[in-house]
Amino acid sequence: MIGALLPELIRDAQISVRQADTGPDRRAAQALLAQVYSLTQFFVAYQPDAALLWRVAERSLIAAQESEDPYAIGVAAWLAAQAHRDEGTMTPPMP
């Protein structure tokens, strides 16, 4: 099951960020970390722990921002919007 693999996957991605020697390597590792958090968010969205979902979404957004990768930023923002929508905090505009 993917849930059992996620903690180690997150840990490995975090280590890759810490071990990056150059700016470009660090940004690439941050983009990878953002992708790992995005994968995690897909799993956590179906768990009964809203606080965990928001923690993962925030960490994904932060890692994506640090990566300066437009794709990673877009995916993290889209997933944050999905979490808001699923939670019911986004309402359609009034006509």
Query: Looking at residue 7, what is its pLDDT?
Result: 93
Q: pLDDT tens across 36-57, in order?
A: 999 999 898 888 888 899 999 9
CA 27 distance to own-chain centroid:
15
Query: Looking at residue 1, what is its pLDDT?
Result: 72
User: Residue 36 in contact with residue 9, Cβ under 8 Å?
Assistant: yes
The structure tokens 């020697």 sit at 21
Q: pLDDT tens across 79-95, in order?
A: 999 888 766 555 555 55
Q: pLDDT tens across 1-37, in order?
A: 778 899 999 999 999 999 999 999 999 999 999 999 9
Q: Provide the residue ranges of all domains of the chain, joining segments of one domain with +.
A: 23-87
Query: Looking at residue 84, what is its pLDDT?
Result: 80
Query: Looking at residue 3, what is its pLDDT?
Result: 80
Query: Looking at residue 17, what is its pLDDT?
Result: 97
